[in-house]
Amino acid sequence: MAYLDHAATTPMLPEAVQAMTAQLTVTGNASSLHAAGRRARRTVEEGRESLAAALGARPSEVVFTAGGTEADNLAVKGLYWARRAADPARVRLLASPVEHHAVLDAVHWLADHEGARVEWLPVDGYGRVSPEALREAIAKDPSDVALATVMWANNEIGTVMPVRELAEVAAEFDVPLHADAVQAFGQLEVDFAASGLAAMTVSGHKIGGPYGIGALVLGREYAPVPLLHGGGQERQVRSGTLDTPAVAAFAVAGELATARRADFAKEVGALRDALIAAVTQAVPDALLGGDPDPAGRLPANAHFSFPGCEGDSLLLLLDAQGIACSTGSACTAGVAQPSHVVLATGTDPELARGTLRFSLGHTSTRDDVDAVAKAIGPAVERARTAGLS
């Protein structure tokens, strides 16, 4: 199989598997005071320190969660509740319309159930929020803004946001800015301290770690209202017994993702460029989504719209040829409607139905690119014929 859906999940790194399996047979709750508990706590804290170093953060800023979705919800809902509790006038929530559904649906929920007034930040044709757009939105009335959330890099079309510039604007008005950095971590230079963000989401299984583990990197001055109540194990903002094996594996994957990032970007970026060239040669009217400048998109992302096609049909035709890709986020796979991300860029709804995302990773090879080059032309032709019948 040519696996080209690494943005959905990427294979675990052997080193992460080894770190995880080494902990699976060791007993101990990291919150217990006896020797077994202290041993587990040491493993967790060493993992926290390693992950913090990889992310340019302090260990005390790393809050472990059960994944990126929980971290996004804790940031968006928790910060909104905390800011509104401190000042009831702060009910305006600024968000980009191209966010992952973990953020998007949390924002909608706050609007439906908690009285949030949501303002969607405009994006350009590449799906990018400009600092000027954020400034204009906040400046309407800085006193009523609870928070802003703009992802670091888009999971569907690969566009990279100007996070540092956005954070500078938000800081001018004392507005906390959260960024979902799930796709950015391991592909781009991610430095929490340098970014100026208030909070940042990362996930284990997108960088070669296990499923079910993520983190919210949270500035020490922020205390979001918890989603979960219990033991308050993580800074009193997240409760739940710490998953020591997953933390150990996540930390190893994060350390390796950071250490190998430059080589990954160079090598996988070259494969991505070759894939883009192959697809556009085989299907000349295919339209590249996101920023066409390689410097403005994730090195592992190639997103296309194919006129006259249904994306699901193309996906299944390629799957029959042993090529795994997606029409967008795995969280919305099978949903018979155009991607909200693609629509937000101004793409015609009919064209937005015919999209495919090829996302590469640490196991990708030139053979994968060649497989797509061979299969994509006939698949598009067949999909178009089916659409006319």
Residues 6 or more apart in contact with residue 246 via CB below 8 angstroms: 20, 204, 209, 210, 212, 213
Low-confidence residues of the chain: pLDDT under 50: none
- Shared domain for 291 and 324, answered yes or no, is yes
Q: Which residue spans within 150-290 are E strands per DSSP?
A: 177-180, 199-203, 214-218, 287-288
- Shared domain for 219 and 86, answered yes or no, is yes
CATH at residue 241: 3.40.640.10
**Active-site entry in 22, 89, 259, 331:** 331
- Shared domain for 49 and 145, answered yes or no, is yes
- Shared domain for 192 and 157, answered yes or no, is yes
CATH at residue 339: 3.90.1150.10
Side-chain half-sphere of 297: how many Cα atoms within 13 Å? Answer: 25
Return the amino acid letter for 224.
P
- Shared domain for 177 and 210, answered yes or no, is yes
- Shared domain for 350 and 305, answered yes or no, is yes
Q: Of all helices (H) and strands (E), which one includes residue 275?
A: helix 261-282
- Shared domain for 205 and 285, answered yes or no, is no
SS3 238: strand
Residue where a domain stops, chosen among 259, 284, 304: 259
pLDDT of residue 334: 53
pLDDT of residue 337: 79
| Domain count for the chain | 2
**Token couple for 382:** 């067949």
Residue where a domain stops, chosen among 259, 294, 316: 259
pLDDT of residue 236: 95
- Shared domain for 278 and 133, answered yes or no, is no
pLDDT of residue 369: 98
pLDDT of residue 388: 60
pLDDT of residue 131: 98
- Shared domain for 130 and 229, answered yes or no, is yes
pLDDT of residue 81: 98
pLDDT digits (tens, 9 = 90+) for 313-340: 999 999 999 999 999 755 555 556 789 9
What distance in Å separates the CA atoms of residue 123 and residue 130, rounded to the nearest whole number?
Answer: 7
pLDDT of residue 389: 52
| DSSP conformation letters of 78-145 | HHHHHHHHH-TT--EEEE-TT--HHHHHHHHHHHHHS--EEEEPP--TTS---HHHHHHHHHT-GGGE
- Indicate if 331 belongs to the active site: yes
- Shared domain for 297 and 367, answered yes or no, is yes
- Shared domain for 28 and 50, answered yes or no, is yes
Range of the domain at 313: 2-9+261-388
pLDDT digits (tens, 9 = 90+) for 138-165: 999 999 999 999 999 999 999 999 999 9
- Shared domain for 201 and 240, answered yes or no, is yes
Residue where a domain stops, chosen among 237, 259, 281: 259
Residues 6 or more apart in contact with residue 230 via CB below 8 angstroms: 239, 240
pLDDT of residue 386: 80
